[in-house]
Structure 1
Amino acid sequence: MSMERSRRSRFTNVAPTAGEFTVAVLLAGVFFFLITPLVVQAIAGWATSGTLALPNGHLLEAYGGLLRGRFGVGLADGVADALPSDAVMWMLTLLGEVLVLGAAVVLGMWMRDLTGTGSRHGLATPTQAAQALGLPRLRKSAAVIRPDLYARTGRRTPVGSK
């Protein structure tokens, strides 16, 4: 492997592609969309009966009840009876979904700023570099600043190195 090849390999982009982010965001969105009604049910059960209303071991029954529009399926009788009416629970679930969506948008915007297209945190533009170093010094140091673009050819290597 030549020295030039190893320099190029150091400057390759290893960031995930946009498709990987899309799949991750879709999977996370489906997960949070499906878990929000159960979280709302757990919090409402804790507020009304003092215990978290989670369908331990009865997850499929709980989702079946939600598909039929009923909360409390798969819970102990005392906890299920203490829950508010289904209409109130659906309104709380809608509020929870809006909160989750808002948090996802804020987190997504933050991630886009951090890793998105055009994010250049810590990198100066060519104009900024020229202002900071001066154009003659920038041209003189080009091989050090960007060795992948301005590598010197025909350099002598020190004795004993490859």
Structure 2
Amino acid sequence: MSMERSRRARFTNVAPTAGEFTVAVLLAGLFFFLITPLVVQGGVAWATSGGFALPNGHLLDAYAGLLHGHFGAGLHRGVADALPSDAVIWVLTLLGEVLVLGAAVVLGMWMRDLTAGTGSRHGLATPTQAAEALGVPRLRKSAAVIRPDLYARSGRRTPVGSK
């Protein structure tokens, strides 16, 4: 293993690409969008009949009922009859979806802060922070070491075989 290869391997970015994040966010969003009406229905069933009820084994029936605008499909008859009108549950579902969307935005902003390419959490200081810590004269004197791609020393010999 050459030194150049080991240096390149050390500085390779192994963070997930934007495409991987996009797919993960879309799948998570679809899951939460589809599960929220059933969770709201279960919570309302818990409030009205005393037990949290999800359509166990009847998930397709429950979603078919939701597509037709009716809650309670896929639940036991007694639990479904105790539910309030569909309009009330739709309003609660809309509130639940807004709550889920708000939580997703907050979580997304937090994840962006954690995975962003700049910022102090990733070991990089802003130019202002570097100037405060080291002083401008020291930064200018060390510019060739800090950013050799921008401030290369003139008259420098390169090893044979490198570019």
Same fold per TM (> 0.5)? yes
1:110 is displaced (CA, Å) by: 1.3
AA of the residue aligned to 2:63: Y
Q: Deviations over 1:38-60 (max 9, x none)?
A: 00000000000011121011101
Q: Please list every run of 5 or more consecutive structure 2 residues that lacks an aligned counterpart in the other structure.
A: 159-163
| Equivalent residue pairs, number | 151
Quote the Cα distance in structure 2 between the aligned partners of 1:52 and 1:127: 55
SS in 2 for 1:51: coil
Q: Aligned residue for 1:61?
A: 61
Encode CA deviations 1:114-142: one digit per residue, 9 max, x unaligned: 21354452322355335434554872993
1:22 corresponds to 2:25: no
Structure 1 length as normaliser, TM-score? 0.80
Give, in angstroms, the shift of residue 2 of structure 1.
Answer: 0.7
Indicate conservation of the 8 Å contact 1:45/1:83, yes or no. Answer: yes
Aligned to 1:31: 31
**Secondary structure class of the residue paired with 2:33:** helix
SS of 1:12's equivalent in the other structure is coil
TM superposition shift of 1:104: 0.8
Paired with 1:110 and 1:140, the residues of 2 have a C-alpha distance of 33
**Of 139, 156, 159, which aligns to 2:142?**
139
Alignment-mate amino acid for residue 7 of structure 1: R
SS in 2 for 1:5: helix
CA contact (8 A) 2:119 2:125 kept: no
Q: Aligned pair in 2 of structure 1 residues 4, 22: CA closer, same or farther (>3 Å)?
A: same
What does the per-residue CA deviation read over 1:64-120, in whole Å, with 9 as the maximum and x for residues that have no partner?
A: 111111111111111111111111111110111111111111111111122135445
* Contact in 1 for aligned 2:118/2:124 (Cα 8 Å): no
Which structure would you say has the larger RCO, counting Cα contacts within 8 Å and 6 or more residues apart?
Answer: 1
CA distance in 1, matches of 2:113, 2:143: 33
TM-score between both structures, scaled by the size of structure 2: 0.79
Structure 1 SS opposite 2:111 = helix
Q: Judging changes above 3 Å, is the alpha-carbon distance between structure 1 residues 11 and 110 closer, same or farther for their aligned structure 2 residues?
A: same
CA RMSD between the two structures: 2.8
Counterpart-to-counterpart distance in 1, 2:29 and 2:86:
24
